[in-house]
Amino acid sequence: MNPGETVPTTEDTGAAPFAPEAFGKYYLIDRIAMGGMAEIFRAKSFGHGGFENLVVIKRILAHLSVNDQFVRMFMDEAKVSAVLQAANIVRIYDFGKIRENYFIAMECVEGKDVKLLLRKLAERRKPLPREFAVYIAMEAAKGLDYAHKRTAINGQPLNIVHRDVSPSNILVSYTGEVKVADFGIVKAANCAEDTGAGMLKGKFEYMSPEQANGADLDRRSDIFALGIILHEMLTGRRLFKTDSEIKTLERVKRADVDPPSATNPTVPARLDEIVSKALDREPDRRYQDARELHADLLDFLYPASPDLTQQSLSHWMRELFADEMETERSRTESGSAIARQMHESQPDTDLEPDFDGGTRTPTQAAPLLPPKPQSRLPIVVAVSLIGVLALTLAGVIGWNAMHPGQVQTVTVATEVKPTTGGISLKITPDSASVLLDGKPAGSGATVSLKEIPPGDHVVSVAAPGFVTHEEKVTVEAGDRVRLQINLDAEHVNVPTPPSQNNQVHTGNTPPPQNVQAPPTVKAVAQFTSSPSGADVFVDGRLVGKTPVSWDGGSPGNRYGVEYRLAGYDSAKFNASLPDSGGNTPFDRNLSEKAQGTGKVNINVSGNQWGDIYIDGNKVGTTPKFGYELPAGRYSVRILNKESGLDQTKAVVISAGQTQTLAFDGK
């Protein structure tokens, strides 16, 4: 067991009331969990002018403080976590030793871990909504990608591998945030503690095959573990867990995994592909970094936006854990009140003489660099280093306010903004090939173009026997353009036999006299559908109902056509009229709309609101989550006369799925 097996946000609501106690500069106000090696507490710290801060304290049990190996592992967690300053990672604020206990002070995430989340759903016999499973995995991948690619001050990679990515270490807050926690057995270049050959650390059922075999690990091992969690969130069942650790390890080593749809038939094929790639037994066939996995999950989530999905998840979490939230709030408030009285009764009490935390005046500290091979930092130096790093995370302003006259130099790690964009294409037929700005870029039914410079680009899609499609696309940095392209079959013209007027005359035969000019070429499009009676729109203009002949086009030109019929999905295609003119048939089979109902989430950004009109009928005001509608296409309008907000968007509701609409309130 490692100290991370007790998780911040795990509530033991059945325990006896906890008596708050002073712990150095902190006041422990509630015990969250207790394991065989560490305790987890909610804690408060107080500053000048009524300043209060709620944190989580992980404290090693006193008898383990004499175990040098365990202490080094605990220090490694603090060192690595202190340099990870990302929204999707639980932040470390402080590290030290008070009396006989080493401790870490970290960000308090008010919510639940995925393990407790799935357990709660199992008790209620409810599945985790698919869009939430995808979103949680997507955000966890973002946090892991940041950790995997973190560098030291000199730019040298730290080569961080979590090695314990499991449901208990992925936290979901009540506000819909997702954070990766517990780098307690992390593998990194700056860690003093090393894992010997063949030594296994981590939870067996969430190991990668190479981890189960005791091999060297890289970031792809964490990706495999996240793939396990995504599989379990989609199916509600454990993937590798058995009644024996030996059997579990053997199953992990084989990595013989059925796709999620084998257990949950509602999982679409594309999501099966993503999970299967993350869980490939061979690391070289997996996603090579977590950013690739994040991109595919984001693409699958489209057109839902991450921001609106987060809001929906927050609303859902607050409903699911309403009772627990009330209990946690009550315990925190009562514990805080007692801690506040304790603090106010001894406002001038100095810290205990044996306090060895991050509040002492920092001396000059070496920058965080990967150590030379076989070198080890003395514990005292390491503790001093962590004290400085923890204070950096807590914020320079707050530190200076509490320590006047002391100056601290800070190096801030900033995330690089994206400089390129991408294009995702879904193409019919699947034999098509794609050119980007005249250069080959891929082929098949789905093509993803990445690392494209911002600006205008020309996309060409061609296939044998089909009319080539060419389109200008504007790409913006950090954005992904999505195109659905259906190529039209080429129209085959039958050669006209030569007549008297168009025969080729050779030799001494004189050409015919009084040859009249050929008649004007005319093109007629014959629009038909099954069933008939569909409205036909050409370039957005209604020209009649099927079957209908349309002669408003010119030979050699191309037109956008759409068939619309109540109860059926619309059919969109491009109609190309041949240069030779004549009658050209365009027939389409219309598919019946999916039966059943789906849901839609509707919100307005920028602290705005508006009345919601669906197909002209007012249904309420924003925000609205989980509004149920029969499957079909709808027009959604947001109206706020006072602010001048008036926007309309179309949405297609599919049976059993939830769509999201985000309106710009600026």
pLDDT in tens, 220-248: 999 999 999 999 999 999 999 988 888 99
Full DSSP string of 262-310: GT-TTS-HHHHHHHHHHT-SSGGGS-SSHHHHHHHHHHHHTTS-HHHHH
Query: Which residues on neighbouring strands pair with residue 599, listed in sequence order?
Result: 628, 658
Residues 368-387 have a mean pLDDT of 41
| 584 contacts 577 by C-beta, under 8 angstroms | yes
Amino acid 596: pLDDT? 79
Query: Does 415 have pLDDT greater than 50?
Result: no
- Length of the chain, please? 666
What's the total number of domains in the chain?
A: 5
Note whether residue 491 is domain-resident. no
Amino acid occupying residue 284: D
Across all residues in the chain, what is the average pLDDT?
Answer: 79
Residues 315, 229, single domain; the answer is: yes
Residues 103, 166, single domain; the answer is: no
Write the CB contacts of 614 (distance below 8 Å, at least 6 apart in sequence): 629, 634, 635, 636, 637
Q: By three-state DSSP, how is residue 600 classified? A: strand
Residues 356-366 have a mean pLDDT of 38
Lowest mean pLDDT: which of 188-197, 205-214, 399-408?
A: 399-408
Residue with the bigger pLDDT between 587 and 71: it is 587
Query: Does 462 have pLDDT greater than 70?
Result: yes
Lowest mean pLDDT: which of 344-358, 432-446, 476-490?
A: 344-358
Q: Which domain holds residue 610?
A: 597-663
CATH number of the domain where residue 3 is located: 3.30.200.20
Q: Using alpha carbons, select from 180, 163, 65, 164 the residue that is nearest to residue 113.
A: 180
Amino acid 260: pLDDT? 94
Residues 264, 407, single domain; the answer is: no
Q: Where do runs of H (alpha helix) occur along 419-543? A: none
Residues 168-185 have a mean pLDDT of 88
Amino acid 228: pLDDT? 97
Query: Does 293 have pLDDT greater than 70?
Result: yes
Residues 308, 331, single domain; the answer is: no
Contacts 24+ apart (CB under 8 A), 642-646: 643/608, 643/610, 645/604, 645/608, 645/610
Query: Does 141 have pLDDT greater than 80?
Result: yes
Query: Does 364 have pLDDT greater than 50?
Result: no
Angle between helices 269-278 and 290-301 (to 10 degrees): 170
pLDDT band at 355 (very low <50, low <70, confident <90, very high): very low
Secondary structure of the chain: what % helix, strand, coil (to 5)? 25, 30, 45
Judging by DSSP bridges, how do beta strands 523-530 and 582-589 pair with one another? parallel
pLDDT band at 38 (very low <50, low <70, confident <90, very high): confident
pLDDT band at 11 (very low <50, low <70, confident <90, very high): very low
Note whether residue 369 is domain-resident. yes
Torsions phi, psi of 474, nearest 5?
-100, 120
Residues 372, 425, single domain; the answer is: no
Query: Does 180 have pLDDT greater than 80?
Result: yes
Q: Tell me, rounded to whole angstroms, the distance of Cα 61 from its chain centroid.
A: 36
Write the CB contacts of 655 (distance below 8 Å, at least 6 apart in sequence): 594, 595, 596, 597, 598, 631
Query: Does 594 have pLDDT greater than 90?
Result: no
Tens digit of each residue's pLDDT (9 = 90 or more) over 522-546 = 889 999 998 989 999 998 888 899 9
Question: Measured between alpha carbons, how far is 608 from 479 in angstroms, rounded to an integer?
Answer: 24
Query: Number of helices (H) and strands (E), helices first, in the chain?
Result: 12, 30
Residues 327, 285, single domain; the answer is: no
Amino acid 192: pLDDT? 45
Residues 458, 386, single domain; the answer is: no
Give the DSSP H/E element, type plus range, for residue 225: helix 219-235
CATH number of the domain where residue 476 is located: 2.60.40.1120
Tens digit of each residue's pLDDT (9 = 90 or more) over 617-643 = 888 888 888 888 888 888 899 998 888
Query: Which residue is catalytic, options 164, 222, 296, 356?
Result: 164
Q: By three-state DSSP, how is residue 353 classified? A: coil
Residues 331-351 have a mean pLDDT of 78
Amino acid 554: pLDDT? 87
pLDDT band at 79 (very low <50, low <70, confident <90, very high): confident
Tens digit of each residue's pLDDT (9 = 90 or more) over 492-511 = 444 444 444 444 444 455 55
Note whether residue 501 is domain-resident. no
Residues 163-175 have a mean pLDDT of 94
Only one residue has tokens 């084989």, namely: 254
Question: Measured between alpha carbons, how far is 182 from 194 in angstroms, rounded to an integer?
Answer: 17
Query: Does 169 have pLDDT greater than 80?
Result: yes
Amino acid occupying residue 182: D
Question: Measured between alpha carbons, how far is 627 from 618 in angstroms, rounded to an integer?
Answer: 13
C-alpha angle 60-63-66 in degrees, rounded to nearest 5: 90
| 198 contacts 256 by C-beta, under 8 angstroms | no
Q: What's the whole-model pTM score?
A: 0.54
Amino acid 414: pLDDT? 38
Question: Measured between alpha carbons, how far is 650 from 638 in angstroms, rounded to an integer?
Answer: 12
Residues 83, 121, single domain; the answer is: no
Write the CB contacts of 318 (distance below 8 Å, at least 6 apart in sequence): 174, 325
Residues 103, 118, single domain; the answer is: no
Query: Does 394 have pLDDT greater than 60?
Result: no
Query: Does 67 have pLDDT greater than 80?
Result: no
> To the nearest whole percent, how much of the chain has pLDDT over 90?
32
Query: Does 551 have pLDDT greater than 80?
Result: yes
Note whether residue 397 is domain-resident. yes
Give the DSSP H/E element, type plus range, for residue 317: helix 306-320
Query: Does 418 have pLDDT greater than 50?
Result: yes
Note whether residue 623 is domain-resident. yes
Catalytic site includes residue 437: no
Residue with the bigger pLDDT between 303 and 319: it is 319
Residues 291, 155, single domain; the answer is: yes
Q: By three-state DSSP, how is residue 378 classified? A: coil
Residue with the bigger pLDDT between 539 and 193: it is 539
Query: Does 379 have pLDDT greater than 60?
Result: no
Give the DSSP H/E element, type plus range, for residue 180: strand 178-180
Domain boundary, last residue among 589, 613, 629: 589
Question: Measured between alpha carbons, how far is 2 from 163 in angstroms, rounded to an integer?
Answer: 12
Lowest mean pLDDT: which of 22-26, 151-155, 346-350, 351-355?
A: 351-355
Amino acid 100: pLDDT? 82
Note whether residue 511 is domain-resident. no
Amino acid 223: pLDDT? 97
Domain boundary, last residue among 320, 345, 379: 320
Residues 234, 371, single domain; the answer is: no
Residues 104, 122, single domain; the answer is: no
Question: Measured between alpha carbons, how far is 586 from 561 in angstroms, rounded to an integer?
Answer: 10
> To the nearest whole percent, how much of the chain has pLDDT over 70?
78
